[in-house]
Structure 1
Amino acid sequence: MLHRSIMLHAEDRIHALITRLRESAAPPERQALLDELTEIEASVHEVAHSVVDYQHVMDELDDNILVADKDEVVLYVNDAYIRHTGIAPEQILGKRITELLETGTYFTDPTVPEVIRSRKKVMKLSSMFGRPDSLGFVTGVPIFDDAGEIQYVVACNRGVSTFKELRDNFVHFVEAVNNLQGAAGHVQMVPNSSGIVTPQMVGESPAIQRVYDLIENVRQTTATVLITGESGVGKELIADAIYRTSSRAEKPFIKVNCASIPASLFESELFGYERGSFSGANASGKQGLFEAANNGTLLLDEIGEMPMDMQAKLLRAIQNNEITRVGGIRPIKLDIRYIASTNCDLKKKVREGTFRSDLYYRLHVIPIQVPPLREREGDVARLSQHFVSEFNKQYHKNVVLSPENIELLENYSWPGNIRELRNVMEYLVVCCAPNGHVDNSYIYGTFDLSNQNAYVEYDPDQSLNDAITAYEKKYLENALRYARNLKEASQILNIDPSTVSRKLRQHGLTLQGK
């Protein structure tokens, strides 16, 4: 960059000399000089214009760039340096760093002198005198000549605000990854001991380890997998894990939510259609989701909601490995790995006649039952800490769960499973811990005690009053699981302590921690 600038300057000087010689009445010996200068001008022009204009490149950078020589004399600053510091070029070019320090216009802790002394790269934080907002991360790098002596020092300064923007962008990126639909946050992709990427669950319970073992067994096969489990347990993430660690990881992965497609559009969406098949159709026809998944993986989510007439066509497509577009006559061969998922009891639907038994057995090749959170012993604490850590980073908080918080969380049955737990942890981090500690009363408020098995079956031999009394007793028993004393019980039930005490005596109940 600097050599090119010198070349351009030399070219201008030579051109000026040639012009003066031509305008003078030059004797013959001066003509020889003129010829020589003309030849030199041509060579300098060729060199100057054959080198990349690095100065232009440097001026387009957003980082502050300064170049000094071995004597600390500033030779160059780029446009960003001038723009960000407010220092005019004439204030700094041609001056020594030590002189600039004395004027109070330079940075408080420059790297150039230290680079020259140490002959090594130097990194440090520095700011301009009287400008704390100008704090930046400075890197000074020595450039050596052929003799191994320092020829230049290049200092690059990037403001701390840039790193803050990078941090915020990274936080948004992590949030987007972790906020995948469902219980996305409890699955991470990490290498195992053999170097193969496998899904590592957050949790060590035997129940979830069995799921992990199944994923490891099926991921490299083409066997059809049926994933079942309650809403919120992370079925879709299990499917993601199988796909991402399979031999088809670089091929398409198409997810179909069978509950969201109108019955009238099911066949055309799945199998596509030829042009002119029906009113309003695309004039050139349309590829279906099955074709889009060809050579890859197809997830049939909420398969239990598929209409009966489509179940027969789906079965035929899976069995024959081919589909025919709506309005078409030409079969299209397919190579698809199928994964289905549902929170329905498909066996019950088969008995009721709302799901085809032949399709059920076609899908039920490798069943993976994802356990509900209440059956994952010890994982509530692990997942809670995991989510709190995630949201602490996202919202720049420092919330800590106490042993009492963990005990309370573990005693709840989590009907919404991991999705519910994740939402509760986000609520606690954002709203309920101004001092970093969570009061149990906030946790109580998030629990849906109506789902805690308080339902009382109809008994024809029982009066309404007796049924109400039985329901109240069951409700109290469930609520008391989360209370250590009378005060906490009154907070959970939202009634005064004297009423709690009276009802406990009425139903013959006691507080374990009382």
Structure 2
Amino acid sequence: MMEMEFYKIIFEEVLRLSDDGFIVVDKHAIVTDINDRYSAFLGKPKEEIIGRPITDVIPNSKMADIMRNEYREELAMHKYIPGYVRDATNDFVLVSRTYVKDSAGDTIGGVAQVHFREQAIQSARRMLKEYNELEFLREQYKQFNGFQLGFKDIIGKSAAIQSKKREAMRASKTNFSVLITGESGTGKEVFAKAIHYASRRCRRPFVSVNCAAIPGELLEAELFGYEEGSFTGAKKGGRKGKFIQADGGTIFLDEIGDMPLVMQAKILRVLQEREVDMVGGTKPIPVDIRVISATRKNLENMIREGTFREDLYYRLNVINIHLPPLRERTEDIPCLVQYYMDKLNREYKRNVGISKKVIEAFYRHSWNGNVRELDNVIKGAYAVCDDLEILPSDLPTKFEFKDENEPEKKIPQTAPPPERTGKPREGTLEAVRIAGSMKEFLKSQEKEMILAAYEKFHTVRKASAYLGMSMPTYVRKRREYLSEEEMTV
């Protein structure tokens, strides 16, 4: 028996006995052999497969690429295109592929071994499941990081804010409770999140609770959770409270000064015992949390008045960070304005600027609402500006100031001012009578002036400035009066 014939018979018998699938191609990726196991899996007789390009049988085959680039694969995952296997529910395998060379070193073909054993298929499916889960978690992590607030999000170059950032950074290295105080709108929650995401707890939850926004009778269930059937209307299966949700991470108790005294005692017990009693529960649940709290109120005064517990105060106030109001760090206004303008321009794909006079007006403003008020004012002005630049006329009336470029209006000397007799002229009285009421008369006068101003200047900005009105108010009123005219036509 010739040696080649001997090995051919042996090879065919190996292919027949194997539980795996085998397919052989020549250097042109034409199928030269396939065993019965694999042809049955594909749902085609061998005669319909041999002699055809492998991509006719398996469109997403990599055999041609393997031979062309001369590489091997071991236990690679392969999923068949729907319709190219007999059993649509069994279309996923592990496959090993390689190229074959002759004695002269030339590639003459390739062979693939498909693993059909149940354990191999189960392993492949498990690997695919784990891979998909990993991809999902990777995507979630990217999104999660995108929403994280860090110290980079605390905008400001003033000595005051830089000092507070350093205090917060030091606080993030510990696990002590932090009390953040300051006026409304100074950025207390931004600091709280920055501390959490810079700490060792950064991969665990940050749970925020506004103690002033939840009615006192619901606060206990919201913070500690409840067991099923613990009260009328309780959710089936119960509900985990905010403290349990924050286990391993940080709970942020905003507006802690608005918490009722009864709840203060229960919060104190949680901080002391590190365990939570759910409403209707019979067994305390241990929790590992860091507490960051914030308030705009003076808790020391509240202690003297008997409206805040002194023992809870000392539990919360291990580290205190007092945030300065915006009026005490006005040098941060330009960079805050730039931050908000850049954010709006990115969101709305515009390139709006802001005039120097507006910045000057911002410097003079008291900012009782602090950074939150600044954000609100910029958004309002951005919404009504002319797409090029935010001007003083785009600001609310509280920011109005004299336009230095506008010539001062003088009363002509040839016409003496009307004598103040305290009595309206007869013509005016008659006009009020004809209008039907003082309200209607004044409305008609306002309508005439608003529409006439636009006819004179042809721009909303100039017309509103001429009348001494804020641009948003002018736009609103002009729209109303134009609508009235359309309805009467």
The interval holding the TM-score normalised by the smaller chain is 0.5 to 0.7
Structure 1 residue 305 corresponds to structure 2 residue 258: yes
Say if 2:253 and 2:292, in contact at 8 Å, map to a contact too: yes
In the alignment, which of 305, 329, 338 is matched to residue 376 of structure 1?
Answer: 329
Say if 1:273 and 1:326, in contact at 8 Å, map to a contact too: yes
Aligned to 1:337: 290
Indicate the SS of the match to 2:271: helix
Deviates further, 231-240 or 402-411: 402-411
Indicate the SS of the match to 2:353: coil
In the alignment, which of 156, 170, 183 is matched to residue 203 of structure 1?
Answer: 156
Q: Match of 2:337, as an amino acid?
A: S
Deviation at 1:340?
0.5
Distance 1:483 1:41 in 2: 90
Distance 1:259 1:409 in 2: 30
Structure 1 residue 423 corresponds to structure 2 residue 376: yes
Say if 2:179 and 2:293, in contact at 8 Å, map to a contact too: yes
Question: Aligned pair in 2 of structure 1 residues 41, 448: CA closer, same or farther (>3 Å)?
Answer: same
Note the residue ranges of structure 1 that are not aligned, 5 or more in a row: 12-37, 56-145, 148-175, 181-186, 190-197, 450-478, 497-514
Aligned to 1:437: 389
Distance 2:247 2:332 in 1: 38
Q: Match of 1:233, as an amino acid?
A: T
Aligned to 1:216: 169
Q: Match of 2:164, as an amino acid?
A: V
Distance 1:7 1:326 in 2: 70
Deviation at 1:430?
2.7
Question: Aligned pair in 2 of structure 1 residues 331, 402: CA closer, same or farther (>3 Å)?
Answer: same
Question: Aligned pair in 2 of structure 1 residues 383, 330: CA closer, same or farther (>3 Å)?
Answer: same
In the alignment, which of 49, 53, 57 is matched to residue 60 of structure 2?
Answer: 53
Indicate the SS of the match to 1:368: strand
Q: Match of 2:51, as an amino acid?
A: V
Structure 1 residue 399 corresponds to structure 2 residue 352: yes
Distance 1:281 1:41 in 2: 66
Q: After the TM superposition, which residues 112-261 of structure 1 pair with which residues of structure 2 at under 5 Å, given as runs?
A: 189=150, 198-261=151-214
Deviation at 1:439?
2.7
Deviation at 1:447?
5.4
Say if 2:29 and 2:53, in contact at 8 Å, map to a contact too: no
Distance 1:363 1:488 in 2: 59
Distance 1:284 1:329 in 2: 15
In the alignment, which of 214, 233, 244 is matched to residue 291 of structure 1?
Answer: 244
Q: Match of 1:318, as an amino acid?
A: L
Q: Match of 2:393, as an amino acid?
A: S
Alignment deviations for residues 453-473 of structure 1 (CA, whole Å, 9 cap, x no partner): xxxxxxxxxxxxxxxxxxxxx
Alignment deviations for residues 226-248 of structure 1 (CA, whole Å, 9 cap, x no partner): 11111111111111111111111
Indicate the SS of the match to 1:387: helix
Question: Aligned pair in 2 of structure 1 residues 485, 250: CA closer, same or farther (>3 Å)?
Answer: same
Say if 1:395 and 1:430, in contact at 8 Å, map to a contact too: no
Alignment deviations for residues 292-327 of structure 1 (CA, whole Å, 9 cap, x no partner): 111111111111111110100101111111121222
Normalised TM-score (structure 2): 0.54
Structure 1 residue 412 corresponds to structure 2 residue 365: yes
Deviation at 1:200?
4.8
Alignment deviations for residues 137-175 of structure 1 (CA, whole Å, 9 cap, x no partner): xxxxxxxxx99xxxxxxxxxxxxxxxxxxxxxxxxxxxx
Say if 1:256 and 1:299, in contact at 8 Å, map to a contact too: yes
Deviation at 1:199?
3.4
Distance 1:414 1:386 in 2: 17
Aligned to 2:318: 365
Deviation at 1:379?
0.6
Say if 2:154 and 2:191, in contact at 8 Å, map to a contact too: no
Aligned to 2:308: 355
Deviation at 1:261?
1.7
Indicate the SS of the match to 1:44: coil
Say if 2:220 and 2:279, in contact at 8 Å, map to a contact too: yes
Structure 1 residue 43 corresponds to structure 2 residue 50: yes
Alignment deviations for residues 205-242 of structure 1 (CA, whole Å, 9 cap, x no partner): 01110111012101121110111111111111111111
Alignment deviations for residues 161-206 of structure 1 (CA, whole Å, 9 cap, x no partner): xxxxxxxxxxxxxxx999x9xxxxxx964xxxxxxxx435321001
Aligned to 1:16: none
Indicate the SS of the match to 1:374: helix
Q: Match of 1:226, as an amino acid?
A: L
Distance 2:306 2:466 in 1: 43
Alignment deviations for residues 434-463 of structure 1 (CA, whole Å, 9 cap, x no partner): 4x23332333xx2547xxxxxxxxxxxxxx
In the alignment, which of 268, 274, 278 is matched to residue 325 of structure 1?
Answer: 278
Note the residue ranges of structure 2 that are not aligned, 5 or more in a row: 1-24, 33-44, 63-104, 107-143, 410-463, 470-489
Alignment deviations for residues 462-507 of structure 1 (CA, whole Å, 9 cap, x no partner): xxxxxxxxxxxxxxxxx8xx547596999999879xxxxxxxxxxx
Question: Aligned pair in 2 of structure 1 residues 447, 312: CA closer, same or farther (>3 Å)?
Answer: farther
Deviation at 1:394?
2.2
Alignment deviations for residues 12-53 of structure 1 (CA, whole Å, 9 cap, x no partner): xxxxxxxxxxxxxxxxxxxxxxxxxx9886533593466443
Distance 1:40 1:388 in 2: 70
Question: Aligned pair in 2 of structure 1 residues 492, 45: CA closer, same or farther (>3 Å)?
Answer: closer
